[in-house]
Amino acid sequence: TLELWGSLYHQIPWKLALSLGTGFILCVIQTCVLGLYPIHTVVHHQLPPASRFIVILEQIRFLMKTYSFIRETAPVIIKKTPKKGENLRFPTFSSYLYFLFCPTLIYRESYPRNNQIRWKYVAITVGKIL
């Protein structure tokens, strides 16, 4: 759906209506799939409280990750107007799946890596969180 929205965004004059309509439809679908269905399943199967908590928190994590993915990719698509004959480059599904399960909060096309762990930086960052 991101590719469909992105390819249509620069071709039609009513960009706001397309964006709002697509966003609303996807929000409703996502709320049903990641919000209501897991709650129904957890209650229907009468899982213990700890298991219910884990399942529901995992669904909230998926919702937050999807939101971050859209917030990081949509502005890039909006800013890059394709030239004649040029195709827009969209994130791949595998990069989205990697983002869902990797320990990061903000989506990027590629994640920089260092050769060694900077423990002083880690300690300062953890200290800021606490």
Q: What pLDDT sits at residue 2? A: 67
Kindly state the greatest CA–CA separation across the chain.
57
Residue 62 has pLDDT above 80, yes or no: yes
The 8-class DSSP code of residue 103 comes to: S
Q: Tokens for 66, please give them.
A: 């999807």
Q: What pLDDT sits at residue 50? A: 93
Q: Give me the domain span that covers residue 100.
A: 2-129
Per-residue pLDDT tens over the stretch 31-56: 888 888 888 889 999 999 999 999 98
Which has the minimum average pLDDT: 8-17, 35-44, 111-120?
8-17
104 residue type, one letter: T
Select the more confidently predicted residue: 61 or 104.
61
What does the pLDDT average to over 97-114? Answer: 79
Count each helix (H run) and each strand (E run) in the chain, helices first. 6, 0
Q: How many domains does one find in the chain?
A: 1
